[in-house]
Amino acid sequence: MGSSLPVVSKRNAAPVANSSERSPLVRTARRYLAALLSLCFAFTSIATLPASAGGGFLIRDSEIEALLREYADPVFAAAGLSPDDVKVYLIADGSINAFVAGGQRIFIHTGLLTQADTPNEVIGVLAHEAGHIAGGHLARLRRQLDRASTASLISLLIGAAAVAGGVATGSTGTAQAGQGLLLGGNTLVQRQLLSYQRAQEAAADQAAVSYLDAAGVSAQGMLNLFETLANQALVTLQHVDPYVLSHPVPRDRISFLDQLARRSAFFDKGDSDNMIYRHQMMQAKLNGFLLDPRQTLQMYPSSDTSAQARYARSIAYFRSGDRTGAMREIDVLLDAAPNNPYFWEVKGQALFETGQVAQSIEPLSRAVELAPDAPQIRVLLAQAILGTENDAYIDAAIDHLNAAFRSEGGSVSLHSQRAIAYGRQGNIGLAELESAEAAYLAGELDLAKSFAERARGKLDRGSASYLRASDILRIDPLEN
C-alpha cells in the first residue's frame, strides 16, 4: 500500500463569489457544501463526506488501481469519456460510497471495494459516476449553488448533514431534526437544489445502465448494491420527507432500475473466474492493510490456505512485526505465481518495513521488472535505495522517481523522496524546490514559499526550475 494524502486539499476549495464573502466561515461553508452536494452513489452519502474530508486519506496501490482501471475503462469508453482523462481515487473509509468531485475525478471508499460481493457491483458504481461526468452534472450543480444566497447555503449545509447523519446512524430523531432545519430555512431555494440533485441522480442511474449494456456488462450488480443500501437505510428513511433528500427514494429508484436492467441481453452475464479471484485478492489486501492485524488474522485464520488468506496474513504479519510469518506466507504465493509483481512488492515492503532495507531492494527490483508502469512500486524501490545510505546508487533512485513522476505527476511522497535524493546528490537547489512542491501539495503554502525562495537563490536564473519556484511564490493564498 503506497503513500497516502489527505482527501481534501486547499487547491480544491470552491471559488468565492466576491470580496464580501471571503470570511473563513463562508469559505468553509461553500467548500463543505460543495462536498456535501457532490454527486454521490450511496443513499446516505452526505453523512460520510464531512468525516472523510476531515480525516480520510487517499490510498495509493498499483495493484488495486490497475484492477479498477480494468473495471472502469470499458464503461468510460461507452460513456464517450477518454479513460486516460478520468482519474479514480481511493479513500480509506469503511462506508459504501463513491462520488464525483472536481471535474473528471471519481472517489471510491474502500468500504465499497471490501463489501462488494462481485466486481460487477463496483463496475455498476463506476458506471453511475460516469453518468454524472458525461452529463456535466457537477458543473450544472455548481451553477445552481452560485445562484443561491450565502444564508441559504449555510442553512442547507447544516440541515442536509443532519438529515443524512440520522439516516447513516439510524437515528430517527437526528434525521427529523435535520429535516426541520431544512424546512425552517429558505425552503424554496433548498428544495430546488435538492430536487435538481435528485433529477441528476436519476439521470446518472439511467445512463449507467445504458453504458453497461454498451460495454457488454450486466447491471445486476448495480441493482444488487442498491438493494443492499436501501435495506440499510429503510428504517430511518421512512421518517424523512422525500423532498429533503439528495437522492431518489430507494424503493422508487430500485423499481426504475430493475425495469431498465432486465431489458439487457447481458443481465445474467456473470464475472469471469479470473476477475472474481483478483477482486477477492484486492479485498484481502485492503483488509490486511486497513484492519487491525489481530482482526485480519481472525478473518483469515491459518487453517485457510487460500491465496486470499495467505495474502491478507502476510500483510498482517509484517504490520505486527512478524517478519518470519510474513515471509512464510508470501513465499508460498511466489512459489505458485513467481511472475506476480505485486507479490514481490509485498515481500519487498515487508522486508523494508521490518528493518531489512538492503534486503528489500532485490524483490522490489523484481517487481519493477514485472510491472515497469507501476509508479508506486518505483517510489518504494527508490525509498529503499535511499534508505541504504549508499550514495553510489543515488542516480538509480532518482531515475526511478523521475519515471514515476513522468507516469503520473507529483505527490507529496514523490516530491519528498526526490528532495531527499537531490539533497544526497548535492543538488540543494532542486532539493529545496522539491520540498516546496511537497509542502504545496500538502496545503502548507507558507512553508512552500519559504522553500521556493531558498531554491531560487541556488537555481540558474531563467531555468525551468527557477521559473517553477517563482510560480509558487506568486500563488495567492485566497485563490489556493
Give tens-digit pLDDT for 313-325. Answer: 999 999 999 999 9
Residues 340 and 414 in one domain: yes
Specify whether the CB–CB gap between 222 and 128 falls below 8 A: yes
Note down the domain range covering 405.
273-473
Grid cell for residue 102? 472536481
d(CA 106, CA 98): 7
Q: Among 197, 226, 261, which residue terminates a domain?
A: 261
- Provide the pLDDT for residue 33: 45
- Provide the pLDDT for residue 236: 45
Residues 124 and 226 in one domain: yes
pLDDT tens per residue, range 54-69: 336 888 899 999 999 9
- Provide the pLDDT for residue 463: 95
Residues of the chain short of pLDDT 70, as ranges, are: 1-56, 137-197, 230-252, 478-480
Grid cell for residue 321? 512485526
d(CA 476, CA 461): 23
Residues 339 and 252 in one domain: no
Q: Among 209, 241, 261, which residue terminates a domain?
A: 261
The residue among 328, 267, 319 whose CA lies nearest residue 293 is 319
Surface-to-core class of residue 231, CB atoms within 10 Å of its CB (0-12 exposed, 13-18 middle, 19+ buried): exposed
Determine, yes or no, domain membership for 267.
Answer: no
Residues 286 and 419 in one domain: yes
Residues 138 and 186 in one domain: yes
> What is the radius of gyration, based on Cα positions, of the chain?
24
Q: Among 241, 261, 281, which residue terminates a domain?
A: 261
Determine, yes or no, domain membership for 266.
Answer: no
Residue 136 zone, left/alpha/beta (φ > 0; ψ -120 to 50; rest)? left
d(CA 424, CA 25): 44
Q: Which residues pair with 39 in a beta bridge?
A: 100
Grid cell for residue 405? 513522476
The residue among 106, 104, 110, 107 whose CA lies nearest residue 92 is 110
d(CA 27, CA 35): 13
- For the chain, how many structural domains are there in total? 2
Residues 204 and 313 in one domain: no
Residues 309 and 239 in one domain: no
Cβ count within 10 A of residue 202: 17
Determine, yes or no, domain membership for 467.
Answer: yes
Between β-strands 87-91 and 98-100, what pairing exists: parallel, antiparallel or unpaired? unpaired
Residues 377 and 349 in one domain: yes
Residues 238 and 318 in one domain: no
What letters, b where the CB count within 10 A reaches 16 and e where it falls short, cover 168-183?
Answer: beeebebbbbbbebbe
The residue among 173, 232, 169 whose CA lies nearest residue 42 is 232
Residues 372 and 238 in one domain: no
HEC-encoded secondary structure of 98-166 = EEECCCCEEEEEHHHHHHCCCHHHHHHHHHHHHHHHHCCHHHHHHHHHHHCCHHHHHHHHHHHHHHHHH
Residues 128 and 221 in one domain: yes
- Identify the sign of the CA torsion 56, 376, 278, 108: positive
Residue written as grid cell 540558474:
460
- Provide the pLDDT for residue 25: 40
57-59 β-sheet, strand order: 5-6, 57-59, 87-91, 105-109, 98-100, 39-40
- Provide the pLDDT for residue 43: 39
Determine, yes or no, domain membership for 425.
Answer: yes
